[in-house]
Amino acid sequence: MKVVIVGGVAGGASCAARLRRLDESAEIVLVERGPYMSYANCGLPYHIGEVIEKESALLVASAELFRAQFNIDARVLTEVVDVDPTARTLQLRDIETGEVTNESYDALVLSPGAKTVRPPIPGIDLPGVFEVRTVPDARTIKEWIARGTTFLTGMDSYSGWQTVRPKKHAVVVGGGFIGLETAENLAHVGFDVTVVEMADQVLLPLDPEFGRAAADRLEQNGVHVVLGDGVASFAQAGDEQESLVVTTRSGAQYPADVVILSLGVRPDTTLATAAGLELGERGGIRVDDQMRTSDPDIYAVGDVIEVKDVQTGEPTLMALAGPANRQGRIAAEVICGRDSRFRGVQGTAVIGLFGATLAWTGQNEKSLLRRGDTDYEKVYLFPNSHAGYYPGAKPTVMKVLFRTSDGLLLGAQAAGEDGVDKRIGHLAMAIQFGATVYDLEESELCYAPPFGSAKDPVNFAGMVAADVLRGDMPLVHWFTNPDALVLDVRSDPELAVEGVDGAVHIPLGQLRARLDELPRNQEIHVLCRSAQRAYYATRILVQNGFDAKVISGGMLSHAMLAPR
Ligand SMILES: Cc1cc2nc3c(=O)[nH]c(=O)nc-3n(C[C@H](O)[C@H](O)[C@H](O)COP(=O)(O)OP(=O)(O)OC[C@H]3O[C@@H](n4cnc5c(N)ncnc54)[C@H](O)[C@@H]3O)c2cc1C
């Protein structure tokens, strides 16, 4: 059996290595257009920011290693330029010599990845405008930055031999995770960075309040965030050969010595189109759950395919390394005759921003609302990352979405400085196995004071959500019923810091004695700092015949949700 794999990075390299482990006799050809096989593109922003100092650290496995260790015919700087599915042949072009050769296959695996979106914005091809996709991209950016060296910084007004003005300003166009990681890394190497995002929030897979938290984190660390304004043009700034000015649709202008384009990616379907493969409605190659395309001898994996959203059943695009690696492995297994199947995606992702972590999995509230799905409830929680009495505990903000009808876990988002990825990892696993919030209540998770709490934030989320569903905790959200009476049960000193206009104040400790001050014919919304005391108060009120509800997340969610 001869298998040719196009694309030698996440999906392609995984597929090739798995194939060899399963079939020692297969002839495997791994073809990569770029100069490197199996490089860590996820590490590129950190290499630009000098966190990963050596470029060689990004090169996970070389073509030589594929040849020596796996007996794989690995060819770099070789591009597949055409496919003839009837003859089961490919045309390969040597990038250096231009020589074109033919290669036959019994099975073909396409893992060509995605292309960066490059809209026809005037000036987009000017020197100084870069994208971050490959090792050579990162090298070019670093070389460009190095033209204004640290040594020369501050000497641009010096009239002696100095001729190079140091690069100071960076504009990142697009507030997705690659854009924001690159923004942070450019800030680390001394740039004054502006992120320009056309949407009204960064990190679109998050709900707006979490997008706002991410933007706040950037701003607190000196990165300027411009929302709701797209780039209209890039132009050279006066006589300065290496300086640009970025003009947005609103007419605002930002100086830029380096511009990073991060406007998202699109499946690279060039070869699929040449082969006449069926594409899906989202523009990716249509595959079944065994990674087979519309041609039974051609498989496709990674950023180039459309996958099933496990929760909605809808086709979606998911440009993430985890799914690409798993799909590569599954394609290899299926080619070797195994009955492996890809379950689909739920969009689990994480980003670090200046020491904070934001992570998410499953459905967000925006997508539920967009689909007109009203069978859901949400809770906001602010647990500590580990036992509060053990040093170093950090607050975490979590939003958990679940079905009102049966408690099925739908999605979660979290932000904080410790343990965020762990909690979202647990919840992602729970979603994949169809868990309910009642399952979260009962999950047995690791606990010792430095690592968590006896009631881990994941258990806590389940307990709060289950309390809501069982009717123990009637819940309400901010800004939903202006006619309700707001009851603040915090202590006096807390009110001195911040209060809510028009709220009635009765500290929790006095509530039982002052019930006659509250109306029996009006809905009462109870708040405290995080909703814990509000819950206790609501239990008292409900059992005394009042129509009381807890405001989810209390003043902490107010800070996230209140209009600014
Ligand atoms: C800067 C950056 C940071 C990222 N960070 C993360 C992260 O933190 N977490 C995460 O989950 N994901 C991350 N991703 C996304 C992740 O890297 C991709 O989802 C994953 O690499 C997709 O794998 P793939 O095999 O489909 O494509 P790729 O890994 O992109 O590989 C495709 C390869 O195919 C080659 N190719 C294309 N056409 C041809 C052809 N005709 N002939 C020969 N070769 C061809 C290309 O040169 C390319 O090297 C990041 C991506 C980038 C660019």
Sorting pLDDT into bands at 50, 70 and 90, what band is 15?
very high
CATH number for the domain spanning 445: value is 3.50.50.60
Pocket flag, ligand 1, residue 320 (CB < 6 Å)? yes
Quick one: 23 and 53 in the same domain? Answer: yes
Q: Say what the pLDDT of residue 245 is.
A: 96
Q: Which of 42, 351, 358 to mutate to test the pocket of ligand 1 (most atoms within 8 A of CB)?
A: 42
CATH number for the domain spanning 532: value is 3.40.250.10
Domain boundary among 426, 454, 470: 470
Residues 6+ apart with CB under 8 A from 453: 383, 384, 386, 387, 388, 447, 460
Question: Structural domain tally of the chain?
Answer: 4
Sorting pLDDT into bands at 50, 70 and 90, what band is 536?
very high
191 belongs to a structural domain: yes
Quick one: 240 and 207 in the same domain? Answer: yes
Q: Say what the pLDDT of residue 153 is.
A: 52
- Residue numbers of the domain that contains 83: 2-114+266-335
Pocket flag, ligand 1, residue 327 (CB < 6 Å)? no
Pocket flag, ligand 1, residue 322 (CB < 6 Å)? yes
CA distances from 150 to 127, 137, 158 (A): 21, 21, 15
CA distances from 484 to 231, 258, 480, 516 (A): 44, 52, 9, 17
Quick one: 449 and 505 in the same domain? Answer: no
Per-residue pLDDT reduced to its tens digit, 397-443 = 999 999 999 999 999 999 999 999 999 999 999 999 999 999 999 99
Per-residue pLDDT reduced to its tens digit, 352-365 = 999 999 999 999 99
- 376/347 Cα distance (integer angstroms): 19
Pocket flag, ligand 1, residue 74 (CB < 6 Å)? no
Quick one: 244 and 278 in the same domain? Answer: no
Q: Say what the pLDDT of residue 238 is.
A: 75
160 belongs to a structural domain: no
Give 191's strand partners: none
Contact yes or no for 381/450 (Cβ under 8 A): no
Quick one: 387 and 499 in the same domain? Answer: no
Quick one: 39 and 110 in the same domain? Answer: yes
Handedness of CA 203, 204, 206, 207 (dihedral sign): positive
The three-state DSSP-derived secondary structure of 167-229 is CCEEEEECCCHHHHHHHHHHHHCCCEEEEEECCCCCCCCCCHHHHHHHHHHHHHCCCEEEECC
Mean pLDDT value of segment 525-550: 97
| Largest Cα–Cα separation, the chain | 90
3-state secondary structure of 127: coil
- 50/185 Cα distance (integer angstroms): 8
Sorting pLDDT into bands at 50, 70 and 90, what band is 564?
confident
Pocket flag, ligand 1, residue 43 (CB < 6 Å)? no
Per-residue pLDDT reduced to its tens digit, 217-256 = 999 999 999 999 999 999 998 766 678 999 999 999 999 9
- 172/225 Cα distance (integer angstroms): 10
97 belongs to a structural domain: yes
Name the residue with tokens 């051609």: 298
Q: Which residue type, as a one-letter code, is found at position 445?
A: L
Q: Which residue type, as a one-letter code, is found at position 80?
A: V
Pocket flag, ligand 1, residue 111 (CB < 6 Å)? yes
Pocket flag, ligand 1, residue 302 (CB < 6 Å)? yes
Residue 6's nearest CA partner among 225, 234, 268 is 268
Mean pLDDT value of segment 504-514: 98
Quick one: 147 and 217 in the same domain? Answer: yes
Phi, psi of 476 (to 5 degrees): -145, 160
Q: Say what the pLDDT of residue 148 is.
A: 58
116-125, 142-151, 323-332, 475-484: range with lowest mean pLDDT: 142-151
How many secondary structure helices (H) and strands (E) does the chain include? 15, 31
Domain boundary among 231, 263, 295: 263
3-state secondary structure of 331: helix
Contact yes or no for 40/13 (Cβ under 8 A): no
Q: Is the pLDDT reported for residue 348 higher than 70?
A: yes
Quick one: 315 and 360 in the same domain? Answer: no
Quick one: 11 and 97 in the same domain? Answer: yes
483 belongs to a structural domain: yes
Sorting pLDDT into bands at 50, 70 and 90, what band is 46?
very high
202 belongs to a structural domain: yes
Contact yes or no for 277/300 (Cβ under 8 A): yes
Q: Is the pLDDT reported for residue 160 higher than 60?
A: no
Q: Which two tokens stand for residue 41?
A: 């593109």
Residue 278, number of CB atoms within 10 A of its CB: 11
H or E segment to which residue 63 belongs: helix 63-70
Quick one: 294 and 215 in the same domain? Answer: no
Q: 331 CA distance to ligand 1 centroid (A)?
A: 17
158 belongs to a structural domain: no
Quick one: 510 and 418 in the same domain? Answer: no
Mean pLDDT value of segment 30-34: 97
CA distances from 274 to 12, 90, 304, 469 (A): 19, 11, 14, 53
Share of residues in the chain with pLDDT > 70 (%):
96
Residues 6+ apart with CB under 8 A from 282: 306, 315, 316, 317
Q: Is the pLDDT reported for residue 161 higher than 90?
A: no
Quick one: 309 and 423 in the same domain? Answer: no
123 belongs to a structural domain: no
3-state secondary structure of 382: coil
Residue 165, number of CB atoms within 10 A of its CB: 18
Mean pLDDT value of segment 281-302: 98
Q: Is the pLDDT reported for residue 526 higher than 50?
A: yes
Q: 140 CA distance to ligand 1 centroid (A)?
A: 18
Per-residue pLDDT reduced to its tens digit, 138-159 = 999 999 988 754 455 555 555 5
Pocket flag, ligand 1, residue 12 (CB < 6 Å)? yes
Q: Which of 31, 37, 273, 303 to mutate to test the pocket of ligand 1 (most atoms within 8 A of CB)?
A: 303
Q: Whose CA is nearest to atom 4 of ligand 1?
A: 42
Sorting pLDDT into bands at 50, 70 and 90, what band is 56?
very high
Q: Say what the pLDDT of residue 150 is.
A: 46
Q: Say what the pLDDT of residue 497 is.
A: 87
Domain boundary among 243, 263, 283: 263
Q: Say what the pLDDT of residue 165 is.
A: 63
Pocket flag, ligand 1, residue 358 (CB < 6 Å)? no
H or E segment to which residue 295 belongs: none
340 belongs to a structural domain: no
